[in-house]
């Protein structure tokens, strides 16, 4: 047994303890994954209009983005690394496995297979035919009911989360992007190539699948991008819950690009401040969550597979945590921690007093520091950027869909403004603004999500001083793995493993 307090004390000590460590980049050896070559059926299927997907075979040609990726895989990035971006992705990116996870031949070991999930989620049907599953495990523009039987679309879906799932369908930009003419931003806009050099746009692109996103429609109201919605039905059927942090996830991808400001006039190599990456990511994450909430509120009125309220939006521990206190040392702020002021966000001593979440209402998800997080001083529950959404969702009776949807929509717009402003600010300025939100000393964090999110933020702060040496990175990963462990429902055990990782860090 141990206390959450001790975990966090160790956490802070561990991270600050390595602040002076020298940066070193180690070569990583990664398994090679072969992507089968596909023969594309004719181009006249239903997707042959507008911004069609063309698939990745073309991108991977040796003269395009398919040059040997040895340097990139070793973390060496130069002006010419675009030539091997595709091979780097094919050799080492986790997204190469995305589609295979839905099949009987997943490309990595799984805790739960698609067949097991489907047996509970939609018995008698296959994940590879299910638009909800395909929307995140392949290109979401190809996960539409009328494209399911289409042979060409199926071949492209089998490429999984490949180039176009992030960069946008290439139908209109494939040709222009080989010889940039005019303003790049303008070409992006006109052809549908995603401006991924903008950190905020990039974080939203990832959040589309790692948080979720509403369907997108064309001017005639026809759905052209499928809804991406990880709900409690899928989680209860065995799907891992999504616990995203943009900075953390991005660091885990083999980076197949050189960071650049891609406006035509500069196109200069730059380095992003990791604290900025983190904060922009958190705001974009919250924006995505609000848009999804607003969409769920609307959809639930007519869609039989969209429940209201959606349990996956609430703190899992509010319904699933073992109600009995473990024997011995207390976890967090006390035996009745779920009624504590810290967990409720109440501050009776404040002037005027803050009453916090009404008892009996499950807390909405934590997206610190855009929401309040139990045990962390800032932001206050009713001062956080997401305070209105929290108030609309945290009611002892089921929240009203119309009202929550409206509030979430307005808040998403405010967050968009905030995200765009942050992207324009200098790294050091964003770093200063976000650092002011971090707790001083060792806060009492009584709850899993708050602790993990604080941890991600602290690690990003650490990286903003320079990449830590490999052994330290490994320790961070061990802690992240423990935080991401799917046996979160057995907190005693998982806390133990997190604590071990922090202890190891401190000893460094
Ligand atoms: C909103 C996007 C989204 C939807 C919808 C979705 N997935 Fe996933 N799925 C993911 C992501 C992201 C991961 C990886 C999770 C991580 O590591 O963060 C994943 C992981 C998995 C895994 C690996 C589990 C393991 O043991 O590691 C399987 C299997 C899987 N999904 C199957 C499915 C099936 C079947 C469906 C449809 C019922 C589905 N997914 C719907 C995004 C999604
Ligand atoms: C998970 C999302 C994702 C996937 C999948 C993906 N990319 Fe990228 N790619 C990015 C991001 C993010 C950037 C950085 C954007 C920027 O700087 O403009 C990038 C940048 C690039 C660059 C610019 C390299 C440079 O240094 O100038 C090329 C070329 C590229 N990607 C090609 C590909 C190819 C080819 C594939 C498929 C084989 C692919 N990408 C798949 C996210 C992705
Ligand atoms: C079209 C949907 C989609 C998009 C867009 C997307 N991802 Fe993913 N991502 C997935 C799926 C599905 C998986 C699960 C693959 C697996 O676990 O093998 C995944 C897995 C990952 C993993 C590995 C997770 C693990 O368990 O180790 C990382 C890291 C990741 N994504 C980061 C990103 C980042 C960063 C971006 C944006 C630049 C991004 N993803 C964009 C769908 C997507
Ligand atoms: C509002 C309450 C509530 C919230 C919040 C909630 N759940 Fe559930 N969950 C339930 C109920 C009720 C069941 C069904 C229990 C049963 O059928 O035995 C369930 C079932 C499950 C199951 C299946 C358990 C089993 O033994 O089969 C899993 C896994 C699960 N939830 C995970 C989560 C995760 C992860 C979250 C947070 C993202 C979450 N839940 C949020 C109420 C909730």
Q: Which stretches of 187-271 are assigned E, i.e. beta strand?
A: 216-217, 223-225, 260-261, 268-269
Ligand 2 centroid, distance to 309 Cα (angstroms): 36
Residues 280 and 329 in one domain: no
Is 290 part of a structural domain of the chain? no
Q: Are 281 and 218 in contact (CB under 8 A)?
A: no
Question: Which residues have C-beta atoms less than 6 Å from ligand 2?
Answer: 56, 59-60, 65, 81-82, 85-86, 89-90, 95, 161-163, 165-167, 196-197, 202, 256-260, 262
Among protein residues, the one with the nearest Cα to ligand 2's atom 38 is: 86
Point out the domain boundary residue: 250, 285, 320.
Answer: 285
61 is a domain residue: no
Please give the residue range of the domain that contains residue 162.
70-285
Taking the centre of ligand 1 as the mean of its atom positions, its distance from the CA of residue 304, in whole angstroms, is 21
Q: Which two tokens stand for residue 314?
A: 């609430």
**Could you report the per-residue pLDDT of 33-75, keeping only the tens digit for each?**
444 443 444 444 333 345 899 999 889 988 899 999 999 999 8
Nearest-10 crossing angle of helices 470-484, 448-463? 160
Same-domain pairing of 121 and 188: yes
Q: Residues 108, 225: one domain? A: yes
Residues 315-344 have pLDDT tens digits of 887 887 655 444 444 444 455 667 778 788
Report yes or no: 404 and 434 within 8 Å, Cβ to Cβ. no
Q: What is the mean pLDDT of each run of 10 residues along the chain (508 residues)?
A: 34 29 30 41 41 89 91 91 95 96 95 96 97 98 96 95 96 85 84 94 98 95 95 95 95 95 82 96 98 97 94 88 48 59 84 84 94 89 93 93 97 98 96 88 69 88 87 81 63 60 49
Of 1, 5, 15, which is closest to residue 455 (Cα–Cα)? 15
Structural contact between residues 420 and 429, judged by C-beta atoms closer than 8 angstroms:
no
| Same domain membership, residue 133 and residue 87 | yes
Q: List the structure tokens of 345.
A: 């966000």
Structure confidence at residue 382 (pLDDT): 87
Same domain, 172 and 225: yes
Contacts of 26 (CB under 8 A, 6+ apart): 470
Asked if 363 and 465 sit in the same domain, the reply is yes
- Residue whose token pair is 């905030």: 418
Give how many domains the chain has, as a whole number: 2
Q: Mind listing the pLDDT tens digit for each residue in 394-452?
A: 998 899 999 999 999 999 999 999 999 999 999 999 999 998 888 876 566 667 788 88
- Asked whether residue 177 falls in the same domain as residue 110, the answer is yes
Ligand closest to Cα of 252 equals 3
CA distances, 232 to each of 12, 75, 288, 432 (Å) = 33, 38, 18, 37
In a domain, 398, yes or no: yes
The CATH number of whichever domain residue 215 belongs to comes to: 1.10.1130
Position 332 scores a pLDDT of 46
Nearest CA to ligand 4 atom 42: 319
> Residue 454: which residues within 8 A CB-CB, separation 6 or more?
8, 11, 368, 373, 376, 438, 439, 443, 445
Is residue 294 in some structural domain?
no
| Same domain, yes or no: 112 and 210 | yes
Same domain, 137 and 279: yes
Same domain, 171 and 269: yes
Residues 120 and 229 in one domain: yes
Q: Tell me, in angstroms, the distance from the centre of ligand 3 to residue 281's CA.
A: 15
pTM of the model: 0.91
Name which of 408, 212, 207, 229 is nearest 305 in CA terms: 229
Measured from the CB, is residue 320 less than 6 Å from ligand 4?
yes
341 with 474, same domain: the answer is yes
């Amino acid at each position: 047994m141990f206390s959450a307090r001790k975990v966090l004390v160790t956490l802070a000590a561990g991270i600050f303890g390595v602040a002076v460590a020298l940066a070193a980049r180690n070569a990583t050896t990664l398994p090679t994954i072969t992507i089968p070559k596909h023969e594309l059926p004719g181009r006249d299927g239903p997707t042959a209009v507008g911004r069609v997907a063309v698939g990745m075979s073309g991108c991977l040609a040796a003269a395009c983005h398919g040059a040997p990726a040895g340097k990139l895989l070793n973390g060496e990035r130069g002006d010419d690394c675009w030539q091997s971006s595709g091979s780097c992705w094919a050799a080492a990116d986790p997204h190469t496995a995305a589609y295979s996870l839905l099949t009987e031949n997943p490309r990595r070991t799984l805790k739960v297979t698609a067949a097991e999930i489907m047996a509970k989620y939609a018995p008698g049907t296959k994940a590879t035919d299910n638009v909800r599953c395909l929307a995140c495990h392949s290109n979401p523009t190809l996960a539409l009911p009328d494209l399911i039987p289409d042979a060409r679309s199926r071949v492209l879906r089998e490429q999984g989360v490949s180039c176009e799932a992030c960069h946008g369908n290439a139908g209109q930009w494939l040709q222009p992007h080989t010889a940039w003419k005019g303003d790049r931003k303008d070409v992006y806009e006109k052809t549908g190539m995603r401006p991924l050099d903008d950190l905020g746009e990039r974080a939203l692109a990832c959040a589309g699948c790692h948080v979720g996103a509403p369907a997108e429609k064309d001017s005639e109201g026809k759905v052209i991008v499928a809804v991406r919605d990880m709900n409690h039905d899928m989680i209860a059927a065995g799907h891992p819950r999504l616990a995203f942090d943009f900075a953390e996830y991005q660091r885990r991808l083999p980076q197949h690009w050189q960071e650049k400001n891609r406006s035509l006039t500069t196109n200069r190599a730059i380095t992003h401040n990791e604290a900025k990456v983190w904060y922009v990511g958190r705001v974009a994450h919250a924006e995505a969550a609000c848009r999804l909430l607003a969409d769920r509120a609307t959809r639930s009125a007519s869609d039989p597979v969209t429940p209201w309220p959606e349990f996956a939006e609430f703190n899992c521990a509010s319904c699933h945590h073992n109600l009995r206190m473990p024997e011995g040392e207390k976890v967090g702020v006390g035996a009745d921690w779920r009624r504590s002021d810290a967990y409720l966000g109440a501050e009776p001593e404040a002037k005027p007093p803050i009453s916090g979440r009404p008892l009996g209402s499950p807390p909405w998800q934590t997206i610190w520091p855009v929401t309040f997080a139990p045990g962390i001083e800032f932001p206050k529950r009713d001062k956080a950027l997401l305070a209105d959404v929290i108030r609309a969702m945290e009611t002892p009776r089921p929240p009203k869909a119309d009202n929550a949807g409206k509030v979430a929509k307005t808040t998403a717009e405010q967050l968009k403004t905030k995200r765009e402003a942050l992207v324009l600010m200098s790294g050091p300025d964003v770093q200063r603004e976000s650092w002011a939100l971090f707790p001083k000393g060792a806060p009492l964090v009584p709850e899993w999500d708050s602790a993990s999110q604080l941890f991600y933020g602290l690690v990003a702060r650490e990286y903003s001083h320079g990449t830590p040496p490999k052994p330290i990175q490994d320790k961070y990963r061990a802690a992240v793995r423990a935080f991401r462990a799917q046996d979160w429902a057995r907190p005693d055990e998982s806390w133990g493993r997190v604590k071990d990782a922090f202890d190891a860090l401190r000893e460094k």
